[in-house]
């Protein structure tokens, strides 16, 4: 039986609020490095945290950003798959457009991968493997993210064949690609910095 509409709305709002927690910003401040929005690229995601606060803080940012998406979906799954799907949308959009930061958030990659891992773990694992492979081969974090999320719908079709999940991975991929417009331009012109080098505005 379909979940009641109020459950869907509540799941979206709670997912959004959880997703909007800017862990990269908070952790960088706690590490004594200042406001992440005024450092490096100004992005609140893990790549900029790496530059501003170092590897341990960046790694913790990835874990927490992925974890908030995973937690939102895991909690909502108790009321059914449709509720979980709304929480998934909410958490990613919350990270991308947090109300606390005037709707200027991260790029959504870690949070999306966290969601994928709970919604359908084989899809999440496949996307993470794609990210690692492309990042290892090219040293471009943004390119790895773009490829991994672009493959999400194909992985969802191949590994689950669930229409709602395929649609979700496609919609999120389009939104995250749009958030990477600047990275795409730099990749095409050969000016995108590689991981650990210079200014990069990738992931969050």
175 lies in some domain:
yes
Is it the case that residue 2 has pLDDT exceeding 90?
no
Helices (H) and strands (E) in the chain, counts: 10, 0
104 lies in some domain:
yes
Residue 176 CB coordination number (10 Å): 24
- DSSP annotation of 193 reads P
Residue 2 CB coordination number (10 Å): 10
Is it the case that residue 180 has pLDDT exceeding 50?
yes
54 lies in some domain:
yes
- Domain count of the fold of the chain: 1
Q: Is 8 helix (H, G, I), strand (E, B) or coil?
A: helix
Q: CA–CA separation, 78 vs 118, rounded Å?
A: 12
Give the tens place of pLDDT for each residue, 6-57: 789 999 999 999 999 999 999 999 998 888 888 877 788 888 888 888 889 9
148's CB contacts (< 8 A; 6+ apart) are 109, 113, 127, 128, 130, 131, 134
pLDDT band, residue 4 (cuts 50/70/90): low
pLDDT band, residue 3 (cuts 50/70/90): low
73 lies in some domain:
yes
198 lies in some domain:
no
203 lies in some domain:
no
Is it the case that residue 199 has pLDDT exceeding 70?
no
Average model confidence (pLDDT) for the chain? 90
Range of the domain at 26: 5-189
103 lies in some domain:
yes
User: Under a CB-based contact definition with an 8 Å cutoff, are residues 152 and 169 in contact?
Assistant: yes
Residue 117 CB coordination number (10 Å): 21
48 lies in some domain:
yes
């Amino acid at each position: 039986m379909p979940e009641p509409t109020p459950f869907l709305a509540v799941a979206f709002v709670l997912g959004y609020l959880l997703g909007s927690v800017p862990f990269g910003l908070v952790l960088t401040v706690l590490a004594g490095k200042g406001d992440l929005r005024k450092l490096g690229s100004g992005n609140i995601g893990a790549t900029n945290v790496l530059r501003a606060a170092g590897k341990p803080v960046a790694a913790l940012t990835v874990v927490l950003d992925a974890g908030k998406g995973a937690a939102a979906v895991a909690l909502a799954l108790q009321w059914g798959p449709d509720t979980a799907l709304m929480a998934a949308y909410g958490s990613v959009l919350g990270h991308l457009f947090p109300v606390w930061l005037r709707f200027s958030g991260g790029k959504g990659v870690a949070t999306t991968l966290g969601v994928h891992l709970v919604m359908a773990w084989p899809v999440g694992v496949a996307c993470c493997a794609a990210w690692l492979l492309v990042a290892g081969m090219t040293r471009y974090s943004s390119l790895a993210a773009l490829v991994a999320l672009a493959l999400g719908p194909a992985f969802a079709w191949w590994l689950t064949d669930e229409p709602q999940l395929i649609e979700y991975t496609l919609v999120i991929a389009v939104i995250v690609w749009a958030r990477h417009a600047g990275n795409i331009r730099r990749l095409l012109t050969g000016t995108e910095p590689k991981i650990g080098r210079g200014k990069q505005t990738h992931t969050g």
